[in-house]
């Protein structure tokens, strides 16, 4: 039996990060965690491109543009933070963006790590952006690395 798994080795890989500016107090921390995760696992700083967009809704468009470049990154990361408000807007946005990220990954054949926080409160989001629960940006980075390596192994 042959078993294949990705490794946490970012050496020689390139990464595209799309960062939502909305809730920047949270998303800046997610970005710091993601970059830390990539660099700790061997990525070169010059192999990381960060694109900033206004909000979560715009992330899939920018990710698609990166995925369809002449030389697309080996893996993409979507980083953002949605915090529930008093209207159903949060639910619609969370579902729409998540579906778009899923569709993009399947269509482009590139890993798209979902680092979009969907939290009930600002405090929950802070806990997931370097607080009590760790940094989901760092986790998205390790997922992106592992999946990019896995796809190379499957080639």
Question: Catalytic positions, please?
Answer: 89
Q: Which residues of 9-47 are buried (b: 16+ CB within 10 A; e: fewer)?
A: ebeebbbbbbbbebbeebbbbbbebbbebbeebebeeeb
Residues 23 and 81 sit within 8 Å (Cβ to Cβ): yes
Residue 113 contacts by C-beta under 8 Å, 6 or more apart in sequence? 75, 76, 77, 78, 140, 141, 143, 144, 147
Q: Given the structure tokens 């294949």, which residue do they identify?
A: 4
CB distance 69 to 108 below 8 Å: no
**Structural tokens at position 114:** 């979902």
């Amino acid at each position: 039996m042959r078993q294949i798994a990705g490794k946490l080795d970012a050496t020689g890989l390139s990464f595209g990060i799309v960062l939502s500016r909305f809730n920047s107090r949270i998303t800046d921390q997610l970005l710091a965690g993601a970059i830390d995760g990539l660099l700790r696992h061997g990525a070169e700083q010059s192999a990381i491109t960060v694109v900033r967009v206004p909000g979560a809704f715009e992330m899939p468009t920018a990710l698609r543009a990166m995925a369809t470049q002449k030389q697309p990154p080996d893996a993409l990361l979507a980083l953002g933070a949605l915090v529930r408000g008093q209207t159903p807007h949060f639910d619609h946005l969370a579902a729409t963006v998540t579906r778009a990220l899923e569709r993009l990954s399947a269509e482009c054949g590139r890993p798209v790590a979902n680092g979009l926080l969907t939290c009930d409160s600002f405090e929950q989001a802070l806990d997931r952006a370097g607080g009590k629960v760790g940094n989901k940006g760092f986790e998205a980075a390790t997922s992106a690395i592992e999946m990019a390596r896995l796809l190379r192994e499957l080639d």
